[in-house]
Structure 1
Amino acid sequence: MTDALAAMSPAYPLIVGSLAVLLFRRGVVQDALALLAPLAALALVWLVPEGTSVPLQWLGLQLHPVASDWLARLFGTAFALAAAAGVLFALDRRSTMERAAALLYAGAAMGVAFAGDLATLFVYWELMAIGSTLVVLAGGASQAALRYALMHVFGGILFFAGLGIVAAEPGGLALRVFQAGSPGSWLLLAGILVNAGAPPVSAWVADAYPRASWSGAVFLSAFTTKAAVYVLIRLFPGEAVLVPIGLFMAIYALVYALIENDIRRMLSYSIVGQVGFMLVAVGIGSEHALAAAAAHAFVHILYKSLLMMAAGAILRATGEIRLSALGGLAKLMPVTAAAMVVGGFSLAAVPFTAGFVSKSAIMAALADDHAALAWFLLTAVSAGSFLYAGLRLPFFALVNGKAPDTVAPLPVSMKLAMLVMAAFNLAIGFSPALLARLAPPIGAVKVLSADHILFQLQLIVAAGICFGVLLKLLAPKSRITIDFDWLWRELPAAVLGRLIRARKQLQGFFEPVLTTARSGIGERFPVWAVRLLEAGNWRTGDIALAATALLGLALLVAAV
C-alpha cells in the first residue's frame, strides 16, 4: 500500500479530473467531478509518504516521478486549496473549456511541487504553461493569450536549454542545488525567473491576468509565479542575484499598483511585488529565510485568491472593474466588501491576518542575516502596500462615490468561496502555529508579541496619514500606463513603420535616377548585360551558355 501511494502524484487526480470534465456536459455530475478532483489531490498531498518514489527507467534516464517532503506538502496544500476554492467560486461560470483548463493548470503546478527529478519537473512546467494559456484564452482574450504563450515559450526554451547542459554534468537530472556560475545554471535560472515575473518581463502578469474571465483570474493568480518560487527554493537557495531582483520587483510593483485604475491590473502588479518579497528571502538562503519564503507563498495564494475573487465578483455584478467608475458597493455587496478588506489587510500585513504572519517571518530572517538595506526597503514597501490594498482599493471601490441603483445578484457558491478563503486568512492570523506546522523552521518567530504588533500599527497609521494627505493624487484616473511590455508590443511596430516609410522615401528619391540609368544601359550594352545588372530573368539557353563558359574557364585555370 505504501509503495502504491509513493508512486501516486497528487497531480494525477487534477489531471484526470480535467479530462473527465470534458466528457460530461455542464451539470451536477461535471460540478461534482470538478470539486472532487482538488479534494482528492489534497488528500494525496498528505497520504504520499515522504521520500522519492521507485526509480523509473526511460530512454536510459533514471527518473523519480514523485518526491515528497514538508516543502512539497506546503505548496501542494496551497495549490489544492486554491483549486478547490477556485472551482467553487466558478461553479456559475458556464465554460467547460475554462474548467478543464483550470484543473489541468492546477494539476501541472501540483506536479511541479512533487516532481523528483528535473525532467519530470520540466514536463509539468510546460504543461502548466499550456493550461494557463487555455485559461486566458477561455476568457476570450486571444491576443493576450498569444502574448502570454509566447512569453512562456521563451521561458521554456531557456529552461530546456539549461536542462540540456546540466543533464550532462555529474548530477545528471537529479534535483540539486545550483550556483549561477555556468551557462547551464544561468539558463535554468533565467527560465525560472520568466515564470516568476522578474524584470524585464514582469509586465506579462499585468498584461494577461486581467484579460481572463472573472473566474479565470482567480486560478491564474495562484499557480505560475508561486511554482516558480518553489523551484527557486529547490534549485537556487542562497543565490545572491535574487536579492536585488526581488527588491526591484517589490518597488516596481508598488509604484504601478498605486497609480493603476483597473482593479485586476492593480492586483496583478501586486503579485509581482509579493513574489519580490519571496525572491529576497530565497536569495538570503538560510533555513529560516527559505521557510519564510515558502510560508509567504502559501499565504499569498490564500489572500490573492481572495482578492481576485472579490474583484471577479464586482466585475460579474456590475460589469465594471475600473476604480474610477465604481464606488459605494459596501452596502450592496457586503460579503464581497468583507472579502476585499480581509484580503487587502492580509496583503498589507495588518496584525491578526495571515500576511502579517508570513511577512513577519521574512523580516525576521532578514534581521537574522543583518540584511539592513533589504529589511528597510521591504518595510517601506509593506507600508506602501497598505496604501493601495488596505486603503485606496476598498475606499474608492466600496465607500467613496455614489453606489449604482442595482447590482446583479451573486450565486451562493461565489459568496461561500470568498468566506472560506477569508476564514483561512483570519485563522492563520489569529493562530500563527497553523502556518508553523506547515513550515516548521519559522516556528521560533514571535509573531503576536506586543512590540511587533505595535511597530506594525505605527506603519499602518503612517500610511493612513499619507493616504489622507495624498488623497487627490491617489484618486483613480483613466490612463494608459507604459510598462516593459511596450518594448515588445509597441516598439517593434513603431520601428517597422519608420523603416517602411524610410524605404518608400528612398525609393521615391532614387527611382528617377534608376530609370535614367536603365535607359542608358539599354542603349550601350547587349540584352544579357542589362539583365545581369538589373537581376532580371534569363533565358534557359543564356544560362547554359554562361555555365559552359564558366566551366571552360575553370578547366583552363586548373590546367595552368
Structure 2
Amino acid sequence: MTEFLHPTVLFLIGAVLIPVLNGLLRKIWLLLVPVLAIISVATATPGDYGSLRFLGQEILIARVDKLSLVFATVFTIMSLIGMIYALHLKRGDQHVAAFAYVGSALGVVFAGDYLTLFLFWEGMAFASAYLIFAKRDQAAARAGFRYLMVHLTGGVALLAGIVIYGAANGSVLFGPVEGAMGVATYLILAAFMLNAAVPPLNAWLTDAYPEATVTGAVFMSAFTTKTAVYVLARAFPGTELLVWLGTAMAIYGVIYAVLENDCRRLLAYHIVSQVGYMVAGVGIGTEMAVNGAASHAFAHILYKALLFMGAGAVIYVTGRRKLTELGGLYRTMPLTVALYMIGAFAISAFPFFSGFVSKSMVVAAAGYDHRAWVMLLLTLASSGTFLHTGLKLPYYMFFAKDSGLRPPEPPRNMLIAMSIAAALCIGIGVYPAPLYALLPHEVDFVPYTAQHVTESLGILMFTALGFVLFLKSLDPEKTISLDTDWVYRKGARAFMWVADVPVARFEQAVSRFSETVGLRFLHRSANASLRADLGGVDAVVNGVASTILQGGRRLRRVQTGIVSQYAVAMVAGVVAAIAVYAVVWQ
C-alpha cells in the first residue's frame, strides 16, 4: 500500500501510544493523529490495496473510491473535532476507546472484502461499548450490556451471512449484491440494518447513547449508524425494501421524540429519523439518491455532533439532562446557546445551513423517481425535526422557566470544537460545491432555487407558528418511554424468572434426592460389593454431591449481566446452527 497510508493504522498505533504519554505531549498526540488521518484521506489515490490470499479466499484490505472517500473524509474531520471536545479529560481510557472506534469505522469504510469488514465491524462494537461503560454508574453498565448483547447478536448474523455467502459464491469480496436475495444476503442485510437502527432494530441506540459519557456520546452519534449507511450504499443500492423502511424511520423517530424528556434521548431519536433519509436514498438507488444519502450522512455527522456537544456541555456544567430540570441557562451560557442553535437550524434544513443542501437532495430524488408519498412523508418528518430539535429542546433547556441554575460556559476546548462544527454547518450550507465534488456520482442538483427556498421557509415558519400556539401541549413530562427495547428488557426478566423459579426448584429437588436417596444407595452398594475401605469413594461421592449443590447455589445467584451474556451465547448458537445447516443444505 505504497500509495495509500491506511488511516486505521494511524488510529490504532495512536491508541497504543496514548497510555504512555502525559500532559501536553498527550494532547498534541491526540490532535496530531486525526490531522495525519485527514491528510492521508485527502491525498489517497483511488484503487485497491492490500490484496492477499487467506484460507483460499481473496482478501482486499482497502478499496479506495469516491464512495469510501466521502465517508472517510467526514470521519477523519469528526475525529479531530471530537478529540478537541474531549481534550480536557485527564484519564486516557476514553481517548484510547475513541481512537479504536474511529479506526475501526475507517476500516469498515475501506474494507474490500467481508472478512476484513467483519473484523472492524466487531471492533466498532467493543470500542464504542467502552464509551458507555466509562460513565461508571449502574445505568450505564446495564445499557452497556444491552448494547453489547444487541451488537454481538448482529455480528453473529453478519458472520453467518458471510459464511453462507462465501460458500455459495466462492468469494467474500465486498460489493453490490446482485441476483435474487437468499439466506446469506438477508442475514447480511439484517446485520447492516441493525447498525443503521432501522425499526424495530433501533432501540439499542436510544437506550445506550443517553447513558454514554459526555464526550463518548459525541463520537457514538457520528460513526456507527453512518458506517451502516455506507455499507448499505455499497452492497444494497436500489433495494426497494429500504425505501419504505427509511421513510418509516424518518417518521418513527420524530413521533417518539415527542415523548422524550431526556435531552440526549430526544436527540438520539432524531438520529433514527435523519438516518431514515439516508436509508431511503440508498433504497431509491438512483445516482441523485445515493449522492443525497452520502451528502446527508456527511452533513448529519457534523450537525448531530454539534447538537450532542451542546447538550453534553449542559450536562457537564449542570449535571442534569432532563428538560423538566433545566431552563434559564441562556443567562450564563450564551455561547453554548448560539452554537447549539446553528446545529438546530442545520438539522431542520434551514436555507444557508448544511442540512438544506443535503436533505433536499434525497427529497428531490424521491420526486424525480415519481415517489410522491415518500417525498411527502420525508417533508413532514423535516417539519417534526424542527419542532422538537430546533424549538422544543432549546426552549425548555435554555429558556422557558428559570430553573435557578447559573452554570458557567463549558471548558474552552468544548467551545472550540463546537465552533468548528458550527462553522462547517454554515460553510457547507452557503457553499456546497466542495461537498458535492466529493460525492460518488456527478451532481446535477441546484438547492437554491426560489421555489425550493420559499417552500422550505414556509413549512418551517408554519411549524414555528404551531409551536407557539400549542406550546402548553408540548411541555415535557417526567416520564420514561420504552421502545422495542421492551422486548429484551422484559425478555431478560422472563429468563431470570425461569432461572430463579422452575430451574431453581428442579435443582432443589435433585439436591434433596441426592442427599436422601442417592448417597445412601451408593454407600450401601459399595459396602455390599467391595467390603473395603470406602474413604476414597466417600470423598469422590461427596465431592460430586458438593459440586452439584454449589452449582445450584450459584444458579440462584445468577445476575442480570451474566444472563445477558448467556442469552447472547444462546442466540449465537442458534444462528450459527442455522448457518451451518444452510451451507450443508445448499
Structure 1 residues 503 and 305: CA distance shift in structure 2, 3 A: closer
Q: Which residue of 1 aligns with 2:581?
A: none
Measured in 2, the distance between the counterparts of 1:16 and 1:54 equals 18
Give the SS at the match of 1:370. Answer: coil
Deviations 1:284-327 (A, max 9, x none): 11121111111111111000000010011111111111111111
Alignment of 1:138-177 (within 5 A): 138-140=134-136, 141-170=140-169, 172-177=171-176
Measured in 1, the distance between the counterparts of 2:496 and 2:37 equals 49
Give the SS at the match of 1:106. Answer: helix
Q: Which residue of 2 aligns with 1:472?
A: 472
What displacement does 1:433 show? 1.2
Structure 1 residues 348 and 536: CA distance shift in structure 2, 3 A: farther
Measured in 2, the distance between the counterparts of 1:537 and 1:469 equals 82
Q: Which residue of 1 aligns with 2:429?
A: 429
Q: Is the 8 A contact 2:254 2:273 kept in 1?
A: yes
Q: Which residue of 2 aligns with 1:375?
A: 375
What displacement does 1:437 show? 1.2
What displacement does 1:234 show? 0.6
Measured in 1, the distance between the counterparts of 2:237 and 2:205 equals 24
Identity %: 38
Match of 1:50 among 36, 43, 46: 46
Q: Which residue of 1 aligns with 2:99?
A: 103
Q: Which residue of 1 aligns with 2:561?
A: none
Measured in 2, the distance between the counterparts of 1:271 and 1:183 equals 29
Bigger mean CA deviation after superposition, 312-321 or 179-188: 179-188
Structure 1 residues 452 and 440: CA distance shift in structure 2, 3 A: farther
Q: Which residue of 2 aligns with 1:347?
A: 347
Q: Which residue of 2 aligns with 1:82?
A: 78
User: What is the identity, as a one-letter code, of the residue corresponding to 1:4?
Assistant: T
Tell me, which stretches of 5 or more residues in structure 1 are unaligned?
Answer: 512-529, 547-560
State yes or no: 1:23 paired with 2:23: no
Measured in 2, the distance between the counterparts of 1:34 and 1:372 equals 47
Structure 1 residues 461 and 408: CA distance shift in structure 2, 3 A: closer
Give the SS at the match of 1:330. Answer: helix
Match of 1:59 among 55, 58, 71: 55
Q: Which residue of 1 aligns with 2:521?
A: 538
Measured in 2, the distance between the counterparts of 1:499 and 1:230 equals 41
User: What is the identity, as a one-letter code, of the residue corresponding to 1:31?
Assistant: K
Structure 1 residues 371 and 29: CA distance shift in structure 2, 3 A: same
Q: Is the 8 A contact 2:67 2:439 kept in 1?
A: yes
Q: Which residue of 1 aligns with 2:222?
A: 222
Q: Is the 8 A contact 1:432 1:447 kept in 2?
A: no
Alignment of 1:259-278 (within 5 A): 259-278=259-278
What displacement does 1:58 show? 2.8
What displacement does 1:434 show? 2.3
Q: Is the 8 A contact 1:361 1:442 kept in 2?
A: no
Structure 1 residues 494 and 55: CA distance shift in structure 2, 3 A: closer
Give the SS at the match of 1:261. Answer: coil
What displacement does 1:489 show? 1.0
Tell me which stretches of 4 or more aligned residues in structure 1 moved more than 6 Å: 498-506, 533-537, 543-546
User: What is the identity, as a one-letter code, of the residue corresponding to 1:47?
Assistant: T
What displacement does 1:409 show? 4.0
Deviations 1:241-262 (A, max 9, x none): 1122212222221111122111
Q: Is the 8 A contact 1:323 1:396 kept in 2?
A: yes
Q: Which residue of 1 aligns with 2:117?
A: 121
Measured in 1, the distance between the counterparts of 2:520 and 2:467 equals 74
Give the SS at the match of 1:482. Answer: coil
Greater RCO structure (CA 8 Å; 6+ sep): 2
Give the SS at the match of 2:124. Answer: helix
Measured in 1, the distance between the counterparts of 2:211 and 2:122 equals 21
Q: Calculate the aligned-residue CA RMSD, in Å.
A: 2.6
Q: Which residue of 2 aligns with 1:301?
A: 301
TM-score, normalised relative to structure 1: 0.88
What displacement does 1:151 show? 1.0
What displacement does 1:94 show? 2.1
Measured in 1, the distance between the counterparts of 2:321 and 2:356 equals 27
Q: Is the 8 A contact 1:292 1:442 kept in 2?
A: no
TM-score, normalised relative to structure 2: 0.84
Tell me, which stretches of 5 or more residues in structure 2 are unaligned?
Answer: 530-586
What displacement does 1:495 show? 7.2
Measured in 2, the distance between the counterparts of 1:81 and 1:398 equals 29
Give the SS at the match of 1:223. Answer: helix
Q: Is the 8 A contact 2:329 2:405 kept in 1?
A: no
What displacement does 1:237 show? 0.8
Aligned length: 522
Give the SS at the match of 2:320. Answer: coil
User: What is the identity, as a one-letter code, of the residue corresponding to 2:3?
Assistant: L
What displacement does 1:440 show? 5.7
Q: Is the 8 A contact 1:433 1:443 kept in 2?
A: no
Structure number with greater Rg is: 1
Q: Which residue of 2 aligns with 1:4?
A: 2
What displacement does 1:491 show? 4.2
What displacement does 1:384 show? 0.8
User: What is the identity, as a one-letter code, of the residue corresponding to 2:373?
Assistant: L
State yes or no: 1:314 paired with 2:311: no
Q: Which residue of 2 aligns with 1:520?
A: none
User: What is the identity, as a one-letter code, of the residue corresponding to 2:47?
Assistant: G
What displacement does 1:5 show? 2.4
Q: Is the 8 A contact 2:277 2:293 kept in 1?
A: yes
User: What is the identity, as a one-letter code, of the residue corresponding to 1:254?
Assistant: V
Q: Is the 8 A contact 2:357 2:432 kept in 1?
A: yes
Measured in 1, the distance between the counterparts of 2:12 and 2:523 equals 62
